[in-house]
Structure 1
Amino acid sequence: MKITDLLNKSGIELSNGIKSKEEAINKLVNLMDSTGNLKDKESYKKAVLERESLSTTGIGDGIAIPHAKTTAVKNAGLSAMVVKDGVDYDSLDGQPAKLFFMIAAPEEKGDVHLEVLARLSTILMDEKFRERLINVKDKNEFLKLIDDKENEKLNEENSKEQKSGYRVLAVTACPTGIAHTFMAAESLENKGKDMGVSIKVETNGSGGAKNVLTREEIENAECIIVAADKKVDMARFEGKRVIQTKVANGIHKAEALINEALSGNAPVYHHSGKGEEIQESNEKESIGRQIYKHLMNGVSHMLPFVIGGGILIALAFLFDDYSIDPANFGMNTPFAAFLKTVGGTAFGFMLPVLAGYIAMSIGDRPALAVGFVGGMLANEGGSGFLGALLAGFIAGYLVVGLKKLFSTLPDSLEGLKPVLLYPFFGILIIGALIVFVINPPVAALNNGITNTLNGMGESSKILLGAVLGGMMAIDMGGPINKAAYVFGTASLANGQFEFMAAVMIGGMVPPLAIALCTTFFKNRFTKRERQSGLTNYIMGLSFITEGAIPFAAADPLRVIPACVVGSAVAGALSMAFGCALRAPHGGIFVLPVITNPLGYFGALVIGSLVGMIVLGLLKKKVD
């Protein structure tokens, strides 16, 4: 709010014969009353006099700013007066007051009077500006002088802020890079605005890093918040105060994170490349949390290969002619063969990429090649997804061990470590471990699991479908959701496509159930929630479960059970209808490539309606 928003011509007096402080206050109160901002003139005047009894509002240099915050004020406002000869106002410097501004603030509108008082005091420090106001002859000119001076001051402040950069920087990242990443960024930015804290947020989403932090911004920032569930580039933050936390905290605890960032108590980050111990976070991470982060780093890099390759393979079956050669279905026509070859090539990178980036998350860049080779050997040796997981973790910790082992070598050999010693010994050792130790038992276990799943009766499969669907709705993008999704993608590699169908439909139901509920049970939601519910139609159909998170966070005891029930029903029906999905993503847009698409769509509709009804029954009416 600007000064000129509160001051108009009817509240200004430029020439009069005021002789005393009492007369000055009476005149200013009358001017204020003429602006229509007062409910009760006498009560307001009483509040002004009470404020004067505490200490004079004659601040010196010929300025007086009497003010009051009271229920007698209808709207915040200003009145102004010029007395060229001056008035004895008991000013702090003992000099007469010539320039008067009176502030009226309503009780319920916060501290607007303090905000305006501070800005008035600032611009009135300019002696030449004061003299021009005192000698002005026209009310319009009086207002223009104030407006020009205030704009000049605001421009100076904006220029200063832009030059100094941002007080707080942040990086957000989640494994899939679709929803949590951007929700956390929006939450931090909005809370920073509310708190008056300049903040810039870099997002590490599925499309790469956006709004990337510059070196100058990092140098000037007081603290960096890293809200991520996967590894991000940390070397650039060497020597800065850094808070590392979960991406979910970026969504739900933005204010607490910003306050901590400004407190000066965040730990100083030292990157391992500097030969110092890594200060990961002021939060003590459990072993389970660390394993989850490493796993999600692998999964996030693996997903583009799985999704792109999986959809191309599914399209190959859609465009092929089964009757030509049933045994060669998917490769019978040239176009189908092209799609399946390209998709199969992309899909083939799934396990090496998974293992490689798990390893890199643990042992940094030198572990990438070791993990890739371990993942490929696991893939070729029949140990599949489980073997690649083990290969990634083994490769990562193997390289960490090699770093410690070779740390005693002379500094002159430092350059040989990443290009010779780590890859040679790392690949040799991981090769031996995977081929002779991991592959035999894990391949046998894999075959046992595959045979068990294939041999499941109809009722068992339906039950598993319900479990997988329900898991997708429990934490909506969290560890349980990701565990179900990883199981689905692993099943794809083993040729069991019906499980992926149950997983995806389970993830689609929560946003859809909420969207339907906001449409048909409107009295259970606020106007803002109903507006947000509309976007959940799109998010649900696109298989973005995270759209349900704001509703689940606001009312978890009602929203989560309703979503779990709906997702479990949808997952069970998908399995009962014999639906199968070769693509691990895509939502409604890959419906044509799903086995029994009508049954799948029916399962989605029924599950969403069940979730809607349960949520509508559980939620209470909103006033």
Structure 2
Amino acid sequence: MASLITTDLVALDVDQGTESSAVIRAMATAVAEQGRASSADDLAAAAIAREEKTPTGVPGGIAIPHARSEAVTEPSLVMARLTPPVDFGAKDGPADLVFMIAAPEGAGKEHLALLSKLARSLVKKDFVASLRAAENAREVVDLVETALGLREDESASAESPPAESAAPAAEAAPGGSSETAATSDTTGADSAEGPRRVVAVTACPTGIAHTYMAADALVAAGSELGVEVVAETQGSSGTTPIDAFVIEAADAVVFASDVDVRDKARFVGKPYVQVPVKAGIDDPQGLIRKSLAEAADPNGHRVTAGRSDEEEASGTGSGARESAGAHLKRVLLTGVSYMIPFVAGGGLLMALGFLLGGFDISDYSEDIVLGNSLWNLPTEYGDLALGPVGAYLGAVAFQIGNLSMGFLVASLAGYIAFGIADRPGIAPGFTVGAVAVLMGAGFIGGIIGGLLAGYVALWIGSLNAPRWLRGLMPVVIIPLVASLVSSGLMFMVLGGPISALTEGLNNWLSSMTGATAIVLGLILGVMMAVDLGGPVNKVAYSFAVAGLATGSVDNPAPWEIMATVMAAGMVPPLAMALATALRPRVFSQAEKENGKAAWLLGAAFISEGAIPFAASDPLRVIPASVVGAGVTGGMTMGLSVTSQAPHGGVFVFFAIDSFLFFLLAIAVGTVISALLVLVLKIFVRKGGSAGLDGQTQAPAETSAATAPAADQGESAGSNADASIR
């Protein structure tokens, strides 16, 4: 196996700038210069994107930036001892020891195990002290290779952790995933019934460094507290699940994870805390104490069958939980994200039906589909546009699309409930969504019904049911009771008032003309650009698609709103693409590459194409995008452009009436936003730095990888549907 680190990859007592991004770029350059990466820029962009998600500084003046990238051709370690230290986000101050881990996208488990073992070694105080005392690069390489067990004559000492580190069991299988701390009777943590026991699961997005460091930190902290800790690392080098009997015997659970915990149902009924993986490194003793406090509290948090990993998402810091507003935003975005495929596919099929069969096809499609076939083509219906074949194929496409669109409210409600209560919430959510449709409560009814179904299902799932009944809870009891309660309330109490509100809103929109319509278009345009795929953007988009099926030749207002939302959403990525073409010197290399992709993303109505630009420079990119998108929205609405398709941008031209006006509005907004962002970048200071003149350093490099999944979410994503929306 080729060496992971060489003397050429070690820099001692160097000044690599005052920003973490500058240090990462310097280290990526070292990897590329040694022929271990095809592109320093791509490697740096990947590592910086990872750093922006979660800072990699850890206590003790250490930072471990890391990334997996297709640019890496050989797994590598780069070490820098910095003078002065640089802030990497650790609570106790800047880092003077920085190890960058660069792994190929398809790195084998053997290499990943070694990289993970190095990360774990960095929690050992004697190893870190030796690195700080090293006099030359050769000494650093020797220390690292000894810690990795690559030097047989010193492997024994490398495998023996110091007193303050994890117990030997933690080092037995560095690439594995189960760590145990021995118990101690010296701290008073033992109870009359024996020592306290905690199980932990750690995971980070890349699964290389933080996953294993958090596990080792928790195991070591447990040893110091006299608490038996067993940790499961869900990382890149493999996962061995904790034995069921160990979980059963545990007093509490610590989830230190930035990603979904696999098979979380194993821990149902256990007291728990959930935090980001970095909190497991920063405050492991505090987490163990907090988990045991949850166990001692009869009203403490318990893992239930109805809780998803996303529902447990925490804020920042140790033990933090998401606020009520963040929780509401997340579950609503979950519902919208799962709803969009029904709408996108259904809307495009309906538009195709109109193209093939004519606008009258909506009146005849059901009769044509049920009463005809390719061997018995229709001839007796209205305007058949492209003839009997076109009428039949158009009717089929329209009916498929119409049925898909019929799931809009039900899927929205169902997946909002899923976001709250996991799988047990889906059936009650879909049911109450269907009731909302029957009652005429529409989009608003779906949201309210989904929230109601989800919280009822979550409450039922949190009840301490007898063991013999637990198996029936998620598949029978929860769906039955939650459906009865939420749908019953929708029928008897909520449906009527919400239906009246929805009807009034639709009538108001249908009556809008002239200046009032332009104002609405302006507002919708601003909403589409203000957070680029986030909750405000999704509210505007959902508002548009919810009314799409109600549009008609006699009532084009819903189609006008859809065209407005789509046109405005195309402006931000197109504007960034144009700006990078007009004045490339004010953008980083990564942004220039992203600008090339943004042409296609913008044309296809994927607003998230502008996220890499907004992530590195939000105070200039977002205002510029908002202005241009607002102008486009106002123009599109004022020109009465309509779209029968909910998605697709210029590629669904056949579903857009007044297509030239549609393009004109987009072009005007794009030019305005592009010019405005260039003016702001050239003449407006950023973060108190010197004014930009087109020749100064470009904003921090970023890449499309900075776009969250779902939660912009972080978002996860909340942008988990970026490829759709």
Stretch deviating more after TM superposition (360-369 or 331-340): 360-369
Structure 1 residues 89-128: aligned runs within 5 Å? 114-120=136-142
Deviation at 1:232, TM superposition (A): 9.1
- Aligned 8 A contact 1:218 1:237 in 2: no
Deviation at 1:291, TM superposition (A): 1.3
Query: Any idea what SS the aligned residue of 2:204 has?
Result: strand
- Aligned 8 A contact 2:365 2:396 in 1: no
Residue 521 (structure 1) aligned with residue 521 (structure 2): no
Residue 430 (structure 1) aligned with residue 430 (structure 2): no
Q: Which residue of 2 aligns with 1:290?
A: 327
Residue 226 (structure 1) aligned with residue 226 (structure 2): no
Residue 382 (structure 1) aligned with residue 440 (structure 2): yes
Deviation at 1:471, TM superposition (A): 1.1
Quick one: distance in 2 between partners of 1:428 and 1:126?
A: 63
Report the TM-score, using the length of structure 2 for normalisation.
0.54
Structure 1 residues 387-536: aligned runs within 5 Å? 387-403=445-461, 407=464, 411-495=467-551, 496-536=558-598
Deviation at 1:365, TM superposition (A): 2.8
Quick one: distance in 2 between partners of 1:364 and 1:384?
A: 23
Deviation at 1:319, TM superposition (A): 1.7
Q: Which residue of 2 aligns with 1:321?
A: 358
Q: 1:212 to 1:237 in 2, by over 3 A?
A: farther
Gaps of 5+ in 2: 10-80, 84-131, 155-171, 180-200, 215-233, 244-253, 292-301, 369-383, 385-390, 552-557, 683-693, 697-725
- Aligned 8 A contact 2:518 2:637 in 1: yes
Q: Which residue of 1 aligns with 2:54?
A: none
Cα-to-partner distance string for 1:109-140 (whole Å, 9 max, x where unaligned) = x999644213346779999999xxxxxxxxxx
Residue 299 (structure 1) aligned with residue 336 (structure 2): yes
- Aligned 8 A contact 2:274 2:312 in 1: no
Q: Which residue of 2 aligns with 1:262?
A: 281
Query: Any idea what SS the aligned residue of 2:642 has?
Result: coil
Quick one: distance in 1 between partners of 2:469 and 2:8?
A: 70
Q: Which residue of 1 aligns with 2:680?
A: 618
Quick one: distance in 2 between partners of 1:127 and 1:300?
A: 51
Q: 1:458 to 1:258 in 2, by over 3 A?
A: same
Quick one: distance in 2 between partners of 1:526 and 1:459?
A: 41
Amino acid at match of 2:561: F
Structure 1 residues 193-232: aligned runs within 5 Å? 216=239, 224-226=256-258
Quick one: distance in 1 between partners of 2:467 and 2:266?
A: 24
Quick one: distance in 1 between partners of 2:533 and 2:361?
A: 41
Deviation at 1:444, TM superposition (A): 1.1
Q: 1:458 to 1:212 in 2, by over 3 A?
A: farther
Q: 1:313 to 1:112 in 2, by over 3 A?
A: farther
Quick one: distance in 1 between partners of 2:258 and 2:588?
A: 32
Structure 1 residues 229-244: aligned runs within 5 Å? 234-235=264-265
- Aligned 8 A contact 1:358 1:371 in 2: yes
Q: 1:237 to 1:506 in 2, by over 3 A?
A: farther
Q: 1:412 to 1:392 in 2, by over 3 A?
A: same
Q: 1:312 to 1:5 in 2, by over 3 A?
A: same
Q: Which residue of 2 aligns with 1:271?
A: 303
Amino acid at match of 2:483: I
Query: Any idea what SS the aligned residue of 2:657 has?
Result: coil
Structure 1 residues 8-27: aligned runs within 5 Å? none
Deviation at 1:261, TM superposition (A): 4.4
Deviation at 1:477, TM superposition (A): 1.9
Deviation at 1:402, TM superposition (A): 3.9
Residue 583 (structure 1) aligned with residue 674 (structure 2): no
Query: Any idea what SS the aligned residue of 2:258 has?
Result: strand
Cα-to-partner distance string for 1:481-508 (whole Å, 9 max, x where unaligned) = 2221221222224431221221122221
Query: Any idea what SS the aligned residue of 1:308 has?
Result: helix
Match of 1:553 among 615, 630, 641: 615
Quick one: distance in 1 between partners of 2:616 and 2:660?
A: 34
Quick one: distance in 2 between partners of 1:586 and 1:519?
A: 24
Q: Which residue of 2 aligns with 1:565?
A: 627
- Aligned 8 A contact 2:521 2:633 in 1: yes
Cα-to-partner distance string for 1:33-82 (whole Å, 9 max, x where unaligned) = xxxxxxxxxxxxxxxxxxxxxxxxxxxxxxxxxxx999xxxxxxxxxxxx
Q: Which residue of 1 aligns with 2:412?
A: 354
Quick one: distance in 2 between partners of 1:422 and 1:127?
A: 58
Match of 1:608 among 639, 651, 670: 670
Gaps of 5+ in 1: 7-67, 71-109, 131-158, 172-187, 200-210, 245-256
- Aligned 8 A contact 1:224 1:241 in 2: no
Task: Specify which structure has the higher proportion of helix.
Answer: 1
Deviation at 1:337, TM superposition (A): 0.2
Deviation at 1:215, TM superposition (A): 7.9
Quick one: distance in 1 between partners of 2:312 and 2:287?
A: 7
Amino acid at match of 1:293: R
Q: 1:111 to 1:310 in 2, by over 3 A?
A: farther
Instruction: Indicate the RMSD between aligned Cα atoms, in angstroms.
Output: 4.4
Match of 2:204 among 156, 164, 170: 170
Amino acid at match of 2:599: Y
- Tell me the matched-pair count: 449
Q: 1:470 to 1:234 in 2, by over 3 A?
A: farther
Deviation at 1:273, TM superposition (A): 3.5
Deviation at 1:309, TM superposition (A): 0.9
- Aligned 8 A contact 1:267 1:279 in 2: no
Deviation at 1:260, TM superposition (A): 3.5
Structure 1 residues 46-195: aligned runs within 5 Å? 114-120=136-142, 162-163=175-176, 169-170=203-204
Quick one: distance in 2 between partners of 1:272 and 1:351?
A: 27
Cα-to-partner distance string for 1:370-400 (whole Å, 9 max, x where unaligned) = 2211110111111111111111111122234
Quick one: distance in 2 between partners of 1:223 and 1:412?
A: 27
Amino acid at match of 1:271: V
Quick one: distance in 2 between partners of 1:127 and 1:391?
A: 63
Q: 1:120 to 1:312 in 2, by over 3 A?
A: same
Cα-to-partner distance string for 1:598-619 (whole Å, 9 max, x where unaligned) = 2212221221111111112221
- Aligned 8 A contact 2:604 2:651 in 1: yes
Q: 1:598 to 1:213 in 2, by over 3 A?
A: farther
- Aligned 8 A contact 1:243 1:261 in 2: no
Quick one: distance in 2 between partners of 1:69 and 1:336?
A: 67
Deviation at 1:421, TM superposition (A): 3.5
Amino acid at match of 1:479: P
Quick one: distance in 2 between partners of 1:592 and 1:570?
A: 20
Identity of aligned residues (%): 34
Q: Which residue of 1 aligns with 2:656?
A: 594
Q: 1:509 to 1:374 in 2, by over 3 A?
A: same
Q: 1:518 to 1:241 in 2, by over 3 A?
A: farther
Q: 1:233 to 1:469 in 2, by over 3 A?
A: farther
Q: Which residue of 1 aligns with 2:53?
A: none
Stretch deviating more after TM superposition (485-494 or 444-453): 485-494
Amino acid at match of 1:561: P
Query: Any idea what SS the aligned residue of 2:338 has?
Result: helix
Quick one: distance in 2 between partners of 1:232 and 1:492?
A: 38
- Aligned 8 A contact 1:468 1:571 in 2: yes
Amino acid at match of 2:505: I
Quick one: distance in 2 between partners of 1:372 and 1:447?
A: 22
Q: 1:520 to 1:335 in 2, by over 3 A?
A: same
